[in-house]
Amino acid sequence: MPPRFLVLFHFIPGQAPKADAALRPAFMRLGEIAARMHRHAMRWSRPIGFRRLAWDEDAVFGDTPIWGNWRDAPHVDPAIRALLERAEKTVCARLSSFGKGAARFGLIHADMRLANLLVDGDVTRVIDFDDCGFGWFLYDFAAAISFFETDPTIPELKSAWLQGYRKVQHLSHAEEAEIDTFIMLRRLALLAWIGSHADAPEPQALAPSFASGSAELAESWLGRIRA
């Protein structure tokens, strides 16, 4: 008899938080959850033959990117393309310097965004491990703010996430300083995702302003790291 594959579903109470809600407490808890998951990943002995995809610079910018080439996304005009190419080059250079040491790079959730959280009172649970793979641990914060990276509350949410994270796991100031690089990496990955999933409702809704928003994010980020 050939092997059979089964999926077991378990009901989990709660609701995904809204981007316009008071999110600081949720992000503090999320930072703690991320740190526990990362600490487990560092200590876990992987089974022989364990394989997962990687969310690194090659996965986003390589010859066969997982979500396609961000240049093919809607409304990436020549000016936006030129700016984002500078951002891509800078991201790759900084990630190369940052490195993939075991304390910085390992098994991550890779999609720990609001839609994949269920909040029930004081309990926050993470769902949807479909994209779970190998990447930089700080990428999990970048994924947490997917699609609203330009919101003015992001510095406050980052502060809350870091406060929660450091309750569980050490994070150096050098690592903290690189978080915005991962936000830029994730934003370019999402721009590619919008281009390669143009028939789906969510990308269609986001497409009109996502390229220009990505350019604004890149311009701000490049300005800060040059200052």
At residue 167 the predicted structure's pLDDT band, cuts being 50, 70 and 90, is very high
pTM of the predicted protein model: 0.92
- Write the single-letter amino acid at 179: I
Distances (CA, A) of 17 to 25, 84, 118, 187: 11, 30, 7, 20
User: In this predicted model, what pLDDT tens digit does every residue of 67-112 receive, in sequence order?
Assistant: 999 999 999 999 999 999 999 999 999 999 999 999 999 999 999 9
Q: Answer yes or no: are the C-beta atoms of 34 and 112 closer than 8 Å.
A: yes
3-class DSSP string for the chain = CCCCCCCCCCCCCCECCCCCCCCHHHHHHHHHHHHHHHHHHHHCCCCCCCCCCEECHHHHHCCCCCCCCHHHCCCCCHHHHHHHHHHHHHHHHHHHHHCCCCCCEEEECCCCCHHHEEEECCEEEECCCCCCEEEECCHHHHHHCCCCCCCCCHHHHHHHHHHHHHCCCCCCHHHHCCHHHHHHHHHHHHHHHHHHCCCCHHHHHHHHHHHHHHHHHHHHHHHHHHC
Confidence at residue 209, expressed as pLDDT on a 0 to 100 scale:
95
Question: Using CA atoms, how far apart are residues 148 and 100, in angstroms rounded to an integer?
Answer: 27
Q: For the residues 153-170, what does the mean pLDDT come to? A: 96
Report pLDDT for 82. Answer: 98
Quote the Cα angle for 18-154-93, to 5°: 125
Please tell me the predicted confidence (pLDDT) of residue 4: 86
Task: Tell whether the model's pLDDT for residue 26 goes beyond 90.
Answer: no
Whether pLDDT at 227 is above 70? no
Identify which of 184, 190, 182 has the alpha carbon closest to the alpha carbon of residue 209: 190
% residues pLDDT > 90 (the chain): 78
State which amino acid sits at residue 53: L
Q: Average pLDDT of 52-65?
A: 96
Q: What is the pLDDT of residue 11?
A: 84
User: What is the arithmetic mean of pLDDT over 199-227?
Assistant: 92
What pLDDT is stored for residue 172 in this prediction? 95
Q: Do 17 and 29 meet the contact criterion of CB atoms below 8 Å apart? A: no
Predicted confidence at residue 125, as pLDDT, reads: 86
Rounded CA gap, 181 and 185, in Å?
Answer: 6
Q: Is 34 exposed, middle or buried (0-12, 13-18, 19+ CB in 10 A)?
A: buried
Q: Which CATH superfamily is domain 24-43+54-226 in?
A: Aminoglycoside phosphotransferase (APH), C-terminal lobe (3.90.1200.10)
pLDDT exceeds 80 at position 28 = yes
pLDDT of residue 1: 80
